[in-house]
Homo-oligomer: A and B are copies of this chain.
Amino acid sequence: MEYHSINIAEKFAKFSEHWSPKIIAQMNDYHFKLVKFQGEFVWHDHKDTDEVFIVLEGQMLIRFRGHAVAVKKGELFVIPKGVEHKTSAQAECRAMLVEVSGTLNTGDAGGDKTASCEDWI
């Protein structure tokens, strides 16, 4: 079992690439991931799972079809399954994601921002 606490800042220091979530912990069949990003992501949804973003540094915008929500440092947002969304950040944003293990960052949308969903740090 995991008898060590997981330091979030130390994990963030281990990678720099954007749009490439890194797994730091598993709870049942869910992964806790850290991600850094800047710029615009792609429209996608996750058919089978809700997805949680917790913003730890900076802020992000989550666009939905017809409106958008700003999520700032210290805020949490639940994206319901099956709802199309597109994330973006003007300056680098650092967030924690919580989602079912095996969830691809781009859902079924594909494209060059699709990253591995198996990268542990």
**A residues contacting the other copy or chain, number (CB 8 A):** 38
Tell which of A13-21, A35-43, A77-85, A110-118 binds the partner.
A77-85
Interface of A is mostly: strand
Q: Within the oligomer, what is the number of copies of this chain? A: 2
| Cβ distance A88 to chain B, nearest Cβ, rounded Å | 15
- Is A121 at the interface (CB under 8 A from chain B)? no
B80 touches A2 (CB 8 A): yes
- From 20 to 36 in chain A, residues with beta carbon under 8 angstroms from any chain B beta carbon are 24-28, 30, 32
- A residues contacting B by CB (< 8 A) are 1-9, 24-28, 30, 32, 49-52, 54, 64, 67, 69-72, 74-78, 80-81, 83, 98-100
